[in-house]
Amino acid sequence: MKVAFLGTGLMGLPMAQRLLAADIQLVAYNRTPEKLAPLQAAGAEIATHPRHAIRAADCVILMLTNAPAIYNVLLSDTAWQTLEGRTIVQMGTITPTESQEIRDAVVGGGGEYLEAPVLGSIPEAKAGKLSVMVGAEPEQYQRHLKLLQNFGTEPLLIGPVGSAAALKLALNQLIASLTTSFALSLAFVQRQGVDVDVFMQILRDSPLYAPTFDKKLQRMLDGNYADPNFPTKHLLKDTELFISEAKSRSLDLSSIKGVRQILQTAVKMSFADDDYSSLFSVIKEWGE
């Protein structure tokens, strides 16, 4: 099998490198060509246009920013005409509705489509320890299981296309909400003069603890949000996707809308490309 990898950003690059390390033939495309240099140095073929990558491969993996990017790269007139007989594996974060619409377009072009969004960040991508959630027919899942195991040892079939995309949004909503709640409690105990080490000791020994708290603690205390594993602008995008999809499900979205406002403020404060733990600065400075 020859794989085309479209989108080699923060997550796409280490994921594509995993395939090369497994001796899988790879052709890569990225809208910012400079990001392809490490893959070219490792032996990947480089495509200057999406249609060239698609035409050269049996399977096409997408790790693109959002649905508009997928339409631009995969479903433009020239690229869409090359889809016949090829498998598209969509691994980015989009809504279930968008995923189903893209599936219909791919099938209309003679290809097949499955979604396989992932939970985890750059360290897990490098180690092949991402949680891979698959939206596909059981037969498709079995046929592509070995490929997906390069990214995570136990890819899980969630259900048909749309189900894995929905689960991914639910999990990213938790990332946003948990981090915001932790940041608020941390800022509160600081303002009340409570020792942060004592706060963390009690928290770690309680059922309230989540490992993500310790992952973000030092960044928040230091105000150092550089070199992100997941930028603020991406978490804002995913939060907006969750809200847009959840509107039709008769859910009370007031809590996550408050989180979205904090993330929007973080972006306005020039933290867009920094780690999403930057939302701590918004919470801390809100009333100042």
pLDDT of residue 225: 98
What three-state secondary structure class fits 63? coil
- Has residue 141 got a pLDDT over 70? yes
Burial per residue of 169-182, b for 16 or more beta-carbon CB atoms within 10 angstroms, e otherwise: bebbbebbbebbeb
Confidence of residue 204 (pLDDT cuts 50, 70, 90): very high
Q: Does 13 or 248 have the greater pLDDT score?
A: 13
pTM of the predicted model, to two decimals? 0.94
pLDDT of residue 169: 98
Q: What is the pLDDT of residues 164-186, one digit of tens each?
A: 999 999 999 999 999 999 999 99
- Has residue 64 got a pLDDT over 80? yes
Strand runs labelled E in 128-209: 131-135, 156-159
Confidence of residue 287 (pLDDT cuts 50, 70, 90): low
Per the CB < 8 A criterion, the answer to whether 110 and 136 are in contact is no
Dihedral sign (CA 151, 153, 157, 158): negative
Q: Output 37-45 pairs: Cβ under 8 A, ≥24 positions apart.
A: 38/13, 39/5, 39/8, 39/13, 42/17, 44/5, 44/16, 44/20
The predicted model gives 191-216 an average pLDDT of 98
In this structure, how many other beta carbons lie within 10 angstroms of the beta carbon of residue 99? 27
Confidence of residue 77 (pLDDT cuts 50, 70, 90): confident
In this structure, how many other beta carbons lie within 10 angstroms of the beta carbon of residue 75? 19
Strand runs labelled E in the chain: 2-6, 25-29, 45-46, 59-62, 87-90, 112-115, 118-119, 131-135, 156-159
Confidence of residue 66 (pLDDT cuts 50, 70, 90): very high
pLDDT of residue 288: 55
The predicted model gives 35-48 an average pLDDT of 95
pLDDT of residue 76: 84
Main-chain phi, psi angles of 48, to 5 degrees? -95, -10
Task: Specify which residues 27 forms β-bridges with.
Answer: 4, 45
- Has residue 261 got a pLDDT over 60? yes
pLDDT of residue 130: 98
- Has residue 90 got a pLDDT over 90? yes
The predicted model gives 69-88 an average pLDDT of 89
pLDDT of residue 265: 97
Torsion of CA 117, 122, 125, 130, to 10 degrees: -50
In angstroms, rounded to a whole number, what is the distance separating the alpha carbons of residues 103 and 53? 19
pLDDT of residue 286: 75
Q: What is the residue-averaged pLDDT of the chain? A: 96
- Has residue 244 got a pLDDT over 80? yes
Tokens representing residue 274 in the block: 């920094």
pLDDT of residue 243: 98
* Closest C-alpha among 37, 230, 234 to residue 123: 230
Per the CB < 8 A criterion, the answer to whether 231 and 271 are in contact is no
